[in-house]
C-alpha cells in the first residue's frame, strides 16, 4: 500500500481536510522549535525538517508568532519558544518557580520599595517570569513579564550567566556577542566585567542597560542540590543605589530567598 501523500502535495483536498493539515503542520513546526529551543532554529532549517516550502513555513510561523507561541529574534534570525507556551503550561517547571518565589518577590518589593523581578534561563537568554512593583513613587520597570534579553544584559540575567560553568559562560557570550551591541553598545569584555563583579561580591550590578539612570542588582537562586535555577533582581533609580544601599538590597534578596528555601518556607 502506498504511503499517504504529504500535506504539501494535497492542494485539492477538501477545505475541512486542508484545515486539519494546517493544524498538523503548525504543530510540527512548534515541536521542531521546542526541540531546538536551546540554540534557536532558522526558517530554512524549520522548513527542511518539517518538509514544508519556505513560504508556507514563514506564513505559519508568522501566525504562531502573532499568537505568542514562538518568538523570532531579528538579530540572530532564529526562532525560540514564546511566552504563551509558558502560560499554557502553568504546571511546567518555570511556573512552579514563579509560584514558589512569589512571596519572596513580594517581600523584597515591600522591604526595598523598589521593583523586584524573577528570571529563568532559556537557552542563551534570560526570561522574566514574574515582577512585583514596590511602593517608591518612581517605578523602575526595566522589564515586562515575558520579556527576553541576552544572558549578561541586566542584573538578573547576569546573575544567571555568571553562575554557569566557565566553559558554558564562554559559549553563551560568544553566541550573544552581536546582540550585546544593542544594549549601550556593550561588548563581550563588558559582560566579562559584570561576571567578575558577581564572582567577587556574590551579586550582579548593572546600570542603564534598559533604562537610563536605572540600576539593577541581582542574585542567583539555587535548588537543594546547589544548581542555579533562577535569579531575583531589584531595579531602582541610580540615586537609590549608592554603595551602602546596594549591600542592604543584596542582603534583603538573600534573606528572602533563603526564607523560601527553608523546609517550612
Residues 30 and 74 in one domain: yes
The more confident residue out of 89 and 194 is 194
β-sheet bridge partners, residue 71: 80
Query: Residue 231's closest CA among 135, 140, 129, 87?
Result: 129
Residues 72 and 121 in one domain: no
Q: What pLDDT, on the 0 to 100 scale, is given for residue 86? A: 64
Q: Classify 225 as helix, strand or coil.
A: coil
Task: Mean pLDDT check: name the lowest of 51-55, 69-73, 74-78, 135-139.
Answer: 135-139
CB neighbour class for 245 (10 Å; exposed up to 12, middle 13-18, buried from 19): middle
- Asked whether residue 1 is assigned to any structural domain, the reply reads no
Is 60 exceeded by the pLDDT of residue 9?
Answer: no
Residues 184 and 233 in one domain: yes
Strands of 228-237's sheet, edge to edge? 148-150, 125-132, 115-122, 228-237, 214-222, 204-207
Element at 235 (helix H, strand E): strand 228-237
> Grid coordinates standing for 132?
512585583
- Asked whether residue 43 is assigned to any structural domain, the reply reads yes
Residues 60 and 124 in one domain: no
> Grid coordinates standing for 193?
566585567
Q: How many structural domains compose the chain?
A: 2
- Asked whether residue 53 is assigned to any structural domain, the reply reads yes
Q: What pLDDT, on the 0 to 100 scale, is given for residue 197? A: 96
- Asked whether residue 2 is assigned to any structural domain, the reply reads no
Q: What pLDDT, on the 0 to 100 scale, is given for residue 125? A: 92
Residues 152 and 255 in one domain: yes
- Asked whether residue 229 is assigned to any structural domain, the reply reads yes
Residues 114 and 132 in one domain: yes
Summarize the confidence of residues 145-155 as an average pLDDT: 91
Residues 210 and 138 in one domain: yes
* CATH number of the domain bearing residue 76: 1.10.10.10
- Asked whether residue 145 is assigned to any structural domain, the reply reads yes
Give the domain-ending residue among 66, 86, 106: 86
- How many other C-beta atoms are found inside a 10 Å radius of the C-beta of residue 189? 10
Task: Give the predicted TM-score (pTM) of the model.
Answer: 0.66
pLDDT digits (tens, 9 = 90+) for 97-118: 888 899 999 999 999 999 999 9
- Asked whether residue 125 is assigned to any structural domain, the reply reads yes
Residue 108 has what DSSP assignment?
Answer: H
Query: Residue 156's closest CA among 75, 236, 232?
Result: 232
Segments forming the whole domain that contains residue 202: 90-261
* CATH number of the domain bearing residue 95: 3.30.450.40
> Grid coordinates standing for 222?
539555587
State residue 71 phi and psi, 5-degree precision: -130, 130
Amino acid at each position: 500500500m502506498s504511503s499517504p501523500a504529504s500535506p504539501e502535495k494535497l492542494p485539492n483536498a477538501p477545505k475541512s481536510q486542508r484545515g486539519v493539515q494546517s493544524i498538523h503542520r503548525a504543530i510540527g513546526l512548534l515541536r521542531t522549535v521546542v526541540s531546538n529551543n536551546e540554540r534557536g532554529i532558522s526558517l530554512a532549517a524549520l522548513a527542511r525538517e518539517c518538509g514544508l516550502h519556505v513560504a508556507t513555513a514563514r506564513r505559519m510561523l508568522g501566525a504562531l508568532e502573532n499568537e505568542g507561541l514562538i518568538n523570532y529574534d531579528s538579530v540572530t534570525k532564529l526562532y525560540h519558544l514564546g511566552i504563551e507556551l509558558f502560560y499554557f503550561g502553568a504546571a511546567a517547571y518555570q511556573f512552579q518557580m514563579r509560584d514558589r518565589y512569589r512571596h519572596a518577590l513580594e517581600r523584597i518589593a515591600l522591604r526595598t520599595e523598589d521593583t523586584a523581578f524573577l528570571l529563568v534561563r532559556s537557552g542563551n537568554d534570560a526570561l522574566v517570569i514574574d515582577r512585583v512593583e514596590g511602593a517608591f513613587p518612581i517605578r523602575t520597570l526595566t522589564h515586562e513579564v515575558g520579556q527576553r534579553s541576552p544572558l549578561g544584559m541586566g542584573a538578573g540575567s547576569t546573575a544567571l550567566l555568571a553562575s554557569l560553568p566557565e566553559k558554558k559562560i564562554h559559549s553563551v557570550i560568544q553566541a550573544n556577542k552581536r546582540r550585546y551591541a544593542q544594549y549601550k553598545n556593550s561588548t563581550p569584555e563588558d559582560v566579562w566585567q559584570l561576571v567578575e563583579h558577581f564572582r567577587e561580591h556574590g551579586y550582579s550590578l548593572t546600570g542603564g542597560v534598559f533604562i537610563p539612570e536605572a540600576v539593577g542588582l541581582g542574585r542567583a537562586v539555587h535548588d537543594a542540590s546547589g544548581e542555579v535555577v533562577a535569579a531575583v533582581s531589584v531595579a531602582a533609580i541610580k540615586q537609590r543605589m549608592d554603595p551602602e544601599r546596594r549591600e542592604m538590597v543584596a542582603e534583603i534578596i538573600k534573606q528572602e530567598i533563603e526564607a523560601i528555601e527553608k523546609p517550612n518556607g
